[in-house]
Structure 1
Amino acid sequence: MMEDTASATGSVDQALSLLNRNIQDYQRLQPVSFETFLNMLNANPSRILRNIFQSFHDMVKAHVDEYEEPMDEDRGEPIFTRYDCTRLFVEGSDNPYFPDMLFANRFMKQMEYLRHGAQQNRIYIFHGPHGCGKSTFLNNLLKKFEQYANTEEGLRYEVVWRLNIKKLQEKCHSFPPSAFEQWMHLVETKEAETNSDPHIKDRFVKVQENDFIEIPCLAHDNPFLVIPKDQRRGVLDELIKNDQFKWQLFTEKEYEWVFTEDTCTVCSSIYHTLLELFQDPKTVFSMLFARPYYVNRRIGNGISVFNPGDQPAKHNIISNQMLQNRINSLFQDSNLIQYTYSYFARIHNGIYALMDIKSHNVERLVALHNIISEGIHKVEHMEERVDALFFALMNPEDKNNLKDFPSFEDRIRYIDIPYVLDWQTEVKIYMDIFGRHIDGSFLPMVLDNFARIIVCTRSQKKSPALEAWIPQPGKYKNFCDDQLMLLKMELFSGNVPKWLDDEDVRRLDKKRLKQIIAESETCGQEGLSGRDAIKIFDEFYSKYAREDRLINMTDLCTFFNTLTHQSEKLLPQGFLDRLLRMYDYSVLQQVKESLYYYNEDQIARDIKHYISAVTHELNSVVTCIFTKEKLHVTDAFLESIENRFLSEKPDAKTRDQIRNDVLKEFTTRALTQEMMIQNKSITDTRVFAFLHEKYVHNLKKQVLAPFVANENFRNAIKDFDTKKFKTHDKRIKKDVTFLIDNLSAKFGYTSQGANEVCIYVIDHDLAGKFK
């Protein structure tokens, strides 16, 4: 029994020893002297001299990855700015938030505004319909800031005074130690006299030498602001070397606060009282310390968040009577320093957030009017400065709560959070909620199309900008719907579809693109909410997910055609039919691409012969300048190659036009510029690439013809990966294996998925549908 007790005691000791070694947060939060603080400022001024706006901006930039888009030849600049907000809103979050491309751009633009200029006269209201994820967005944003603010990278410093009692006693001879201090002095004296431990004696000596009263600044002022305004430029000029940051510090408005802001009334009173008493600034600054600004939402330090049901505080004044009594005794004058703050002081240089503007939060928002307007809050007879980052969430109907305060409108900056308008982001939401494994239950593109249907309900059905850009959408009937909503979704996702023809791509200039993107401001306020979409997806997935088969487009169309939900009323007429047509056309092209055997050497040889032949007269015998083979240039020879890269048999006039175009392109660009100046081979020229694309495209159009009506081919596909497959003809087995392997390698199908999509293409006669 004693052995067990000893063993347990040893384990506990080891556990406590482990904690003692590993827990070191307290060391990081220890105050440092003002001299040490200035040394840190000298080493890293851009990090030390940050207010809440700059710090919050730096946090966002540190967690958002920006990707450069390829340059567009016509525009000369990137079309979209792509931001990856995963580290800001998803990683480490219990309830991730997924912003789409439109909101990410809107949010990052506001973050750029945030860093520049005076910001105390703004409240940022994130405005959006129910179920759009506003609360999730703001909670994740605040959580990430709290984590960042307490790291080395995001650390800021605040004032803490350590008033040296011994020095003050020397100046104030009448200073009587309190009964408590006398008792503590007696206890520590006896402890030091009776204890032989040298560590105890050392501690006693240090207490005697450094006995102080610690007065923290509840307003979290930067210690540098204690320096008088007229001395700050000179100090910074001495501390900071001449570089880019120093130029920004001395010239840009975002750093104006460093030279113009005052410390809080308590810090200011302490500084002036000490200076008057000692008449020695060095002694005063020896009592000034800097400690890390520890942000903790739960205790309201640096971040204060209020829900509508939270009752307002009965008393808005913070005081510490015990500390006030010691200050009064120390300075012998109760009027010199008043240690009094309001609760707003706790969010000075911090964040104040209101979750929904209703109930008690309406009162709180109205109470912020003077603070936001002037940055000043009255605490009894004292003025208290409050510079904070003010956030609020608002539903559309709650705007009425502000109608009686028109003067407040110019202090509010609304940032819309609509429903997700990017189908790729919508898919991420489903995967996050239901698990990434759900993707394996769908044929490729089917889950994407579910998301497209949901997003369609949130978009405006009419788009003047799109109609002006593409007045005849019928030419894209294999890729898009009549209202061009599928095209709008791609643009809202940051993609310019490859199926647009060259003329329309050229007409999509910067001005037109801005007009289209601007229409997104009116989208996402109606339609299926995020909660509705999740509920519908759960119903759909539960109904159609099976282990023996994958969810296909037939399932998707059947589900939405029979859905007795408001979504059927929100979809434009014919949208599902066009979505199905787009899917059918896409899978047909995938199967053709995967079944097509093409001999690149033969294709290249034909194109080289054709380019060489059009440079000579008909009925001449020439040597190909690329292959060195003899060519007899006749109409029949040229037509035999033209028929391979032209989809329909052209007339003589069309053939002449094609030959002249190829001849002109070769002589004026390919030969004289690309080959002779840029030293390219013929296969790298633009004319070769054009003919190659036409050649391959035309061959692929006919690739399914031998297989469509072949029942043995269909049966071989069904039997693939089974014992029956061995009984099929050798050539058919080779074709089917080639097809299945290519679908998997090129388009991400599993063997089961490739099998099912091939049967779908054949049974629905997609080759005939798009003949």
Structure 2
Amino acid sequence: MTEEKKTAIELGSNIDIAMQRFLHVQQGAQNSGLISFAEYLERAGENPISAVRNIFQVFHDLINDFVVKGVDEYPDDPESIGYADYDTSQLFVEGADNPFFADRLFTNRLVTLAENFRHGTQQNKIYIFKGPHGCGKSTFLDNLLRKFEQYANSPEGCTYEAVWRLDRELLGNFTEKETDRFLGKLSNLLDEYELRQSDLIEAQKVAYQGDQFIEVPCPSHDSPILMIPREYRRSFFDDLFKNDETKWKLFTEKQYEWVFRDSPCTICTQIYEALLSRLKDPLQVLQMLFARHYRFNRRLGEGISVYNPGDKAIKQNVLGNEMLQGRINGLLRDSNQVQYLFSNFAKTNNGIYSLMDIKGHNVERLLELHNIISEGVHKVEYIEEKVNSLFLALMNPEDEESIKDLPSLSDRIEYIKIPYILDLRTEVEIYRNAFGRHIDDRFLPRVLHNFARIIISTRLNQSSPALMEWIGHPARYSRYCDEKLQLLKMEIYTGNIPEWLDQSDRKGLTARRRRRIINESENEGVTGFSGRDSLRIFGELFSTYAKEGAMIDMATLCSYFRKHEDWMKLIPAGFLDSLLHMYNYTIMQEIKESLYYYNEEQISRDLKNYIFAVNFEKDSEVDCIYTGNRLKVDENFFAPIEARLLAKDADRERVLMFRKSIQKEYASRTLTQELRLEGKEMTETKLYQNLYERYVHHLKEKVLEPFLENENFRRAIKDFGKEDFKTYDNRIRNDVTFLMDNLCEKFDYSRLGAKEVCIYLIDNELAQKFAKE
């Protein structure tokens, strides 16, 4: 056998395998076969929640299945408002050509909307997602509808629609005249092709069988369950479903009221009545009722229709099927019994009807929806067509003028705000998606997030009544926040309650106050840098300053914005200075924490000895019962310990008052209650823990002395990682290495980042500046 023949055989075999596999997958994907009404009822009995649901419930299930349950960082807080951090990446990001990043504020609104669909009575409304240009509205809706289409066509999200399969034999309508017509045609075929008589008989059977059924799909995609006459449904379901929690939900929860309230479309009603009139038996009528998966197809307008402002209105909005109408008329022998007429709205009944921006021709479509949304019905010639769709629309704030003259429609509109991103974590995630996750390696820690804070500051209101009522005097937090409290608001919007708040303010953050702060976001995010602006500004910064072996720091970031006067007009006055001060103070605390090391055993011994010694007269010599150390109680003993417990400028009177307060606390509570009654160890007592915090705090205040006084230490930091670093003495090398290791371990700096942040501190003389505060 030649090589060419072998290749041809192998290719043919591969083609067969590929085609068979494709056929198997395609058949499994379609899964659109009809099932009898009895089989549908069996499935409904096994899983009523899945088989009996309308578009609103499917939308809820989509959100519930694709939005990962949110994390509430403060679940045990009695003042929690359930403001959770939901993950929407499966819904809007994964598999999307153009990902949409939903911030925490918008995600909570979307989840709340879906929960309302599930737990409330659905009524015809139009849900308008309103937001400014560049906020990602179109991307949001495109991705949402794409995922909805996938979900609705999957086993998890499928719903069922009614299909009538009219049986000529059961209706006794296949007459002798029609049979003779078939035989005549087949006789001609016999003459032409010389078929045997047996072939004629078989062909007759095929023709008869093929023309025995007429399939009439419900153009409004009604659930088969609605074909049971409304007055009988409650008792029917009572017999169908077993007595359990699911049945109780079906009969009592508002989300299922439609099952007992809604009527089928006019066409299905006409078919049911015509068949019942002919057969006189409801069970025989229901034998012709079948169910199939409701297949959604946005491109064909089945289940999902999306209209852009430039799409012209369809002139002929009355649809039908002449061939099917003729067959129905012939079967029922009455052309007036069933009129197979419907509109475009029927194609999205129990589906989603969407308007991309309320402008252009979409204004006309919204006006056309007026009566439908208000009454739930639509006139198709002389037939009333019910419409129960999920109406969605997008709108820019300025386009609201186009519907202001429709006050009767206003109570049927529910706005969901979709502003510019106000959650800094989401803003940063957008940069990572657009430019790659490697951008983190080009910024010192927190500088990338501070870029996002600057962008978001332009989108927030200049004043916050809710925050001012809560905090009162922002100057108290000048180290951590700006005077307009925007930095604090950004933390609240991300779900974080800052640790730097004092205890009284933390307790003062009640649920009512927190809701007021969150609710202020409803009127924010409509001005300032748009999403497109922020990506452009970031791209310019990154391409200009992100260099190999160097990292973008706060000084670079601030100078970059200050060079653009038009940008500075949008950034609140004083915000950059406050952000820089907060950043500098934060890294100072990190470097202090990383430099600090002290023998914990020595701290414990000093504090235990001090607590014991304050109970004795001056110049006494005693043995401490907690350490076993022999103590001489004099100023030489007290001075070094009190230097780490009190401020530098503490006078003699304050020192003595402090000792007296320690002795009183020890005698009245520590010794008598905690040590003797409760059996605590000394290190577990409240007095010891308070003194420990003081002691460590003052030790850390002194750790910056190498930055202030030791030039060799500062030079060693700049030479860290270079050959010259080996020329420094062991102590400096050990101290610098200890500092770098701690910055990396405790605060997630890279080796380069740890060095760069120390150089930033040295170059900007931050140690000297904060030493004066």
TM range (shorter): over 0.9
- 2:377 touches 2:385 (CA, 8 Å); kept in 1? yes
Aligned counterparts of 1:179 and 1:664: Cα–Cα separation in 2 = 116
Q: Is the alpha carbon distance of 1:278 and 1:666 closer, same or farther for their aligned partners in structure 2, counting shifts above 3 Å?
A: farther
Match of 1:574 in 2: 574
Decide whether the 8 Å contact of 1:67 with 1:81 is kept in 2: yes
Offset, 1:427: 0.7
The question of 1:521 aligning with 2:522 is answered: yes
Distance 2:532 2:628 in 1: 68
Q: Hey, what's the Cα distance between the residues in 1 that align with 2:246 and 2:59?
A: 18
Shift of 1:517: 2.3
CA contact (8 A) 2:186 2:203 kept: no
- 1:714 maps to amino acid: R
Report how far residue 765 of structure 1 moved: 1.6
Pair 1:2–1:106, CA change in 2 (3 A): closer
How far apart in 1 are the matches of 2:203 and 2:620?
109
Instruction: Give the secondary structure class of the aligned counterpart of 2:400.
Output: helix
1:16 aligns with 2:36: no
Question: Following the alignment from structure 2 to structure 1, what is the Cα–Cα distance between the partners of residues 545 and 76?
Answer: 46
Match of 2:372 in 1: 371
* Superposed CA RMSD: 3.2
Count of aligned residue pairs for this structure pair: 767
In structure 1, distance between residues paired with 2:259 and 2:540 = 57
Amino acid at match of 1:81: A
Distance in 2 between residues matched to 1:182 and 1:264, nearest whole Å: 40
Provide Cα deviations, 1:274-293, integer angstroms capped at 9, x if missing partner: 22222222222221111011
Residue identity matched to 1:570: L
Range moving further from structure 2, 518-527 or 179-188 = 179-188
Query: Which deviates further from its counterpart, 554-563 or 174-183?
Result: 174-183
Report whether the alignment pairs 1:330 with 2:323.
no
What is the CA deviation profile of residues 10-53 of structure 1, one whole-angstrom value per residue up to 9, with x for unaligned ones? 23222212223333335622121111111111111111111111
> Is the contact made by 1:118 and 1:253 (CA closer than 8 Å) also made in structure 2?
yes
Identify the residue that residue 29 of structure 1 maps to in structure 2.
Answer: 32
- Residues 661/363 of structure 1: CA separation in 2 closer, same or farther (3 Å cut): farther
Q: Report the residue type matching 1:111 in the other structure.
A: A
Indicate the residue corresponding to 1:439 in structure 2.
440
Q: Which residue of 2 aligns with 1:113?
A: 116
Q: Distance in 2 between matches of 1:153 and 1:203?
A: 43
User: How do residues 289-688 of structure 1 correspond to structure 2 at under 5 angstroms?
Assistant: 289-564=290-565, 566-613=566-613, 624=624, 626-631=626-631, 637-655=637-655, 658-659=658-659, 681-688=681-688
SS of residue matched to 2:455: helix
Match of 1:56 among 54, 59, 63: 59
Rounded Cα–Cα distance in structure 2 between residues aligned with 1:331 and 1:744? 83
**Aligned match of 1:100 in 100, 103, 107?**
103
Q: Which residue pairs with 1:135 in the alignment?
A: 138
Report the counterpart of residue 697 of structure 2 in structure 1: 697
| Higher deviation after alignment, 684-693 or 656-665 | 656-665
Identity among equivalent pairs (%):
51
* Aligned ranges 1:177-216 → 2 under 5 Å: 208=209, 211-216=212-217
3-state DSSP of counterpart to 2:385: strand
492-501 or 82-91, which deviates more: 82-91
Change (3 A) 1:66 1:15: closer
Say if 2:306 and 2:355, in contact at 8 Å, map to a contact too: yes
Q: Distance in 2 between matches of 1:208 and 1:646?
A: 101
Secondary structure of the structure 2 residue equivalent to 1:24: helix
Rate the CA distance shift 1:433–1:502 in 2: closer, same or farther, 3 A. same
2:280 & 2:383 partners in 1: Cα distance? 26
Instruction: Please tell me the residue identity of whatever aligns with 2:336.
Output: N
2:752 is aligned to 752
Structure 1 residue 238, shift from structure 2 partner: 2.2
Deviation at 1:682, TM superposition (A): 4.4
- The Cα offsets for residues 649-708 of structure 1, whole Å up to 9 and x where unpaired, read as 433554455556656766777678777787765444554443333222221111120343
Q: Structure 1 residue 519: deviation in Å?
A: 2.2
SS at match of 1:290: strand
CA distance in 1, matches of 2:653, 2:203: 106
Query: What is the distance in 1 between the residues matched to 2:279 and 2:94?
Result: 53
Native 8 Å contact 1:643 1:649 kept in 2: no
Structure 1 segments unaligned to the other structure (5+ residues)? none
In the alignment, is the contact (CA less than 8 A) between 1:164 and 1:210 conserved in 2? no
Q: 2:474 and 2:619 mapped to 1: Cα distance?
A: 45
Q: CA offset at residue 581 of structure 1?
A: 1.2
1:531 Cα deviation after fit:
0.9
1:358-401 C-alpha deviation (Å, 9 max, x unpaired)? 01000000000111001111111111110011111111111111
Q: 1:402: Cα distance to partner?
A: 0.7
TM-superposed deviation, 1:618: 6.5
Structure 1 residues 378 and 677, CA gap change in structure 2 (3 angstroms)? farther
Does the 8 A contact of 2:303 with 2:350 survive in 1? yes
Preserved contact between residue 97 and residue 133 of structure 1 (Cα < 8 Å): yes
Q: Take 1:393 and 1:699, find their aligned partners in 2: how far apart are those partners?
A: 58
Separation in 2 of the partners of 1:617 and 1:165? 114
Aligned partners of 2:456 and 2:131: how far apart in 1?
Answer: 16
Structure 1 CA distance for aligned equivalents of residues 423 and 574 of structure 2 = 21
Q: Given the alignment of the two structures, is residue 237 of structure 1 paired with residue 248 of structure 2, yes or no?
A: no
The separation in 2 between residues aligned to 1:294 and 1:16, in whole angstroms, is 24
The superposition leaves residues 286-338 of structure 1 with CA deviations (integer Å, 9 ceiling, x where unpaired) of 21111011111111111111000011112111211111111111111111111
Quick one: distance in 1 between partners of 2:560 and 2:173? 86
Q: Flag the 1:26–1:583 CA change in 2: closer, same or farther, 3 A.
A: closer
- The answer to which of 493-502 and 670-679 deviates more is 670-679
Identify the residue that residue 277 of structure 1 maps to in structure 2: 278
Structure 2 CA distance, aligned partners of 1:195 and 1:675? 111
TM-score of the superposed pair, with normalisation by structure 2: 0.92
Q: Secondary structure at the match of 1:770?
A: helix
Which deviates more, 11-20 or 306-315?
11-20
* Partners of 2:131 and 2:293 in 1: CA distance: 36
Amino acid across the alignment from 2:93: V
Q: Distance in 2 between matches of 1:178 and 1:91?
A: 61
SS at match of 2:698: helix
Secondary structure of the residue that 1:362 maps to in structure 2?
A: helix
Q: Provide the residue aligned with 2:50 in structure 1.
A: 47
How far did residue 255 of structure 1 move?
Answer: 1.1
Instruction: Mark the CA change 1:70 to 1:488 in structure 2 (over 3 Å): closer, same or farther.
Output: closer
Indicate how the Cα distance of structure 1 residues 230 and 713 shifts in structure 2: closer, same or farther if over 3 A, else same: same
Question: Post-superposition shift, 1:4?
Answer: 3.9
Q: Do the aligned partners of 1:69 and 1:78 also contact (CA within 8 Å) in 2? A: no
CA contact (8 A) 2:168 2:174 kept: no
Offset from partner CA, 1:232-254 (integer Å, 9 cap, x none): 11222223232333222212222
Report the CA distance between 1:642 and its aligned residue.
Answer: 3.2
* Cα distance in 1 for residues equivalent to 2:534 and 2:293: 45
Answer yes or no: is the 8 Å Cα contact 1:175–1:330 preserved in 2: no
Q: How many angstroms apart in 2 are the aligned matches of 1:54 and 1:148?
A: 13
- Asked if the contact 2:309–2:358 (Cα under 8 Å) also holds between the matched residues in 1, the reply is yes
Q: Cα distance, 1:467 vs. partner?
A: 2.5
Counterpart among 59, 70, 87 of residue 84 in structure 1: 87
Task: Say which SS state the counterpart of residue 353 (structure 1) adopts.
Answer: strand
The one-letter amino acid paired with 2:436 is: G
> What corresponds to 1:725 in structure 2?
725
Other structure's SS at 1:699 match? helix
Question: Which stretch has the larger CA shift, 587-596 or 721-730?
Answer: 721-730
Give, in whole Å, the separation in 1 of the partners of 2:307 and 2:537: 32
Higher alpha-carbon deviation: 21-30 or 724-733: 21-30
Distance in structure 1 (CA, Å) of the matches to 2:733 and 2:248: 73
Cα distance, 1:576 vs structure 2: 1.3
Contact 1:744 1:750 in 2 (8 A): yes
* Structure 1 residue 256, shift from structure 2 partner: 0.9
